[in-house]
């Protein structure tokens, strides 16, 4: 063979080798792309999701390294069940977690899935009319009288029991140390018939129908239906009241030194009573206020009128005792120097505001003029221009103030 033929042979061989390498490379890149695509769409909870039926109840769950996570519980019998006894083990591992796959388990947790149903798969309908769906499942949940959580559970979603009908018995095992006391979530909005908290639980306990911190110093919510709630004398801080449905009177002891913003709001009017020995808070004209700062803590609406007590200096982050009552009029005394009216007032407009002071109070936050639009604002004689000048910033929010001088 001549040198030319040898060179040609080597070139052909090289070309064949390159082609093979390119084919291999293409296959590798294709497989890598498919892997990346699959990884981006991989849902570990869904990939491991299993189901089984125990005692007429369908449990959907996935098995993880730390234990089994129950994502959905569905009663199957049309007759319903009186006791829901959640299994201690599923999939060969202990049950440690309760909540839907898209649920939030702590404040700061990121929920990437919508909608976000409770443990029974029940949620608000898309119509936004307050209807809970699926309705047939909610009817079966209503028939449950007792919920037994196994001692192995140490984590529940914040909305795990949201919208669960009132009147049930439930137990809290020693491992659940968060998820019950977060404001705005389901547990403290339910009026449980009875709650039993493990004596080994280091975070919670229940006294007088109140969910408390283990040392009794913090009140997280009223969790049992009672006409009169006597807050235990160990409580120093009220962080969140929850739902007051069925409650007519709340008694605050002398020990309470702090009530967090908006902690006391009720649908129906509730009478607040405060110990005469309490150095921080008092009641005047049905409304609760701070003796130290003069802040209106909880406003009492009577016959459609909120008559702010003359001892109040500031209306800010105020709870409303009677949100379901049709508010017609708000009377603001001259003692008030700053206001941020509750956002709930927006739903009540148009309103009548009657300001008694010659000098208008400061708007502590522009959204604090909630309810001003389309409302009538009465001020003392010869004070209209003063109020307009003081509230000039309000008008820049495209809110036209209808200020009328009183005769």
- 67 versus 113: the higher-pLDDT residue is 67
Q: In the prediction, which pLDDT does 18 show?
A: 46
Q: In the prediction, which pLDDT does 243 show?
A: 64
Highest-confidence segment of 23-32, 269-278, 312-321: 269-278
Share of the chain above pLDDT 90, in %: 56
pLDDT band of 44, cuts 50, 70, 90 = very low
Tell me: cis bond preceding 134? Omega within 30 of 0 counts: yes
pLDDT band of 10, cuts 50, 70, 90 = very low
pLDDT band of 38, cuts 50, 70, 90 = very low
Q: In the prediction, which pLDDT does 24 show?
A: 53
Paired tokens of 43: 């849902």
Paired tokens of 240: 């969140």
The pLDDT of 347-355, averaged and rounded, is 87
- 103 versus 26: the higher-pLDDT residue is 103
- What's the distance, CA 72 to chain centroid? 20
Average pLDDT score over the chain: 84
Residues 229, 232, 236, CA angle at the centre, nearest 5°?
115
The pLDDT of 273-279, averaged and rounded, is 97
66-89 b/e (C-beta count within 10 Å ≥ 16 → b): ebbbbbbbbbeeeeebeebebbee
Q: In the prediction, which pLDDT does 108 show?
A: 59
Burial (Cβ within 10 Å: 0-12, 13-18, ≥19) of residue 312: buried
User: Lowest mean pLDDT: which of 37-41, 217-221, 336-340?
Assistant: 37-41
The pLDDT of 17-39, averaged and rounded, is 48
Question: pLDDT digit string (tens) for 168-200?
Answer: 999 999 999 988 886 546 788 888 999 999 999
What whole-number distance in Å separates Cα of residue 90 and Cα of residue 94? 6
What whole-number distance in Å separates Cα of residue 19 and Cα of residue 111? 48
Q: In the prediction, which pLDDT does 373 show?
A: 75
Q: What is the pTM of this model?
A: 0.81
The pLDDT of 190-212, averaged and rounded, is 93
pLDDT band of 114, cuts 50, 70, 90 = low
Q: In the prediction, which pLDDT does 22 show?
A: 46
Domain residue ranges of the chain, discontinuous segments joined by +? 48-165, 285-407
- 158 versus 356: the higher-pLDDT residue is 356
Paired tokens of 144: 């449950």
Q: In the prediction, which pLDDT does 322 show?
A: 83
Question: pLDDT digit string (tens) for 284-324?
Answer: 999 999 999 999 999 998 899 999 999 999 998 888 888 78
Residue 339 has pLDDT above 70, yes or no: yes
pLDDT band of 370, cuts 50, 70, 90 = low
Residue 110 has pLDDT above 60, yes or no: no
């Amino acid at each position: 063979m001549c040198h030319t033929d040898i060179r040609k042979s080597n070139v052909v061989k090289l070309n064949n080798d390159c082609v093979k390498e390119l084919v291999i490379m293409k296959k590798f890149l294709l497989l890598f792309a498919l892997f990346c695509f699959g990884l981006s769409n991989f849902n570990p909870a869904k990939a491991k999701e299993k189901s089984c039926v125990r005692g007429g109840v369908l449990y959907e769950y996935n098995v993880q390294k730390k234990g089994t996570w129950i994502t959905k519980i569905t009663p199957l019998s049309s007759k319903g069940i009186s006791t829901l006894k959640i299994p201690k083990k599923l999939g060969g591992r202990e049950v440690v977690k309760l909540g839907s796959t898209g649920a939030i388990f702590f404040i700061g947790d990121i929920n990437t899935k919508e909608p976000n149903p409770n443990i029974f798969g029940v949620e608000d309908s898309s119509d936004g009319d307050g209807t809970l769906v699926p309705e047939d499942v909610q009817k079966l949940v209503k028939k449950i009288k007792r919920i037994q959580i196994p001692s192995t559970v140490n984590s529940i979603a914040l909305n795990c029991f949201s919208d669960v009908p009132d009147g049930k018995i439930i137990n809290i095992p020693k491992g659940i140390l968060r998820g019950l006391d977060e404001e705005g979530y389901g547990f403290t909005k339910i009026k449980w018939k009875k709650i039993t908290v493990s004596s080994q639980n280091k975070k919670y306990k229940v006294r007088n129908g109140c969910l408390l911190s283990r040392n009794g110093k913090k009140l997280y919510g009223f969790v049992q239906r009672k006409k009169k709630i006597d807050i235990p004398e160990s409580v120093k801080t009220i962080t969140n009241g929850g739902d007051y449905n069925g409650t007519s009177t709340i008694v605050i002891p002398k020990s309470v030194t702090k009530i967090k913003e908006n902690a006391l709001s009720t649908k129906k009017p509730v009478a607040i009573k405060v110990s005469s020995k309490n150095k921080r808070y008092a009641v005047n004209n049905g409304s609760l206020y701070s003796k130290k700062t003069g802040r209106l803590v909880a406003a009492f609406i009577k016959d459609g009128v909120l008559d702010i007590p003359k001892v109040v200096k500031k209306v800010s982050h105020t709870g409303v005792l009677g949100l379901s009552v049709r508010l017609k009029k708000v009377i603001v005394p001259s003692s008030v120097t700053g206001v941020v009216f509750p956002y709930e007032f927006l739903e009540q407009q148009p309103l009548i505001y009657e300001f008694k002071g010659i000098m208008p109070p400061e708007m502590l936050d522009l959204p604090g003029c909630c309810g001003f639009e389309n409302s009538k604002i009465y001020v003392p004689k010869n004070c209209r221009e003063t109020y307009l000048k003081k509230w000039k910033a309000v008008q820049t929010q495209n809110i036209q103030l209808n200020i009328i001088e009183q005769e």
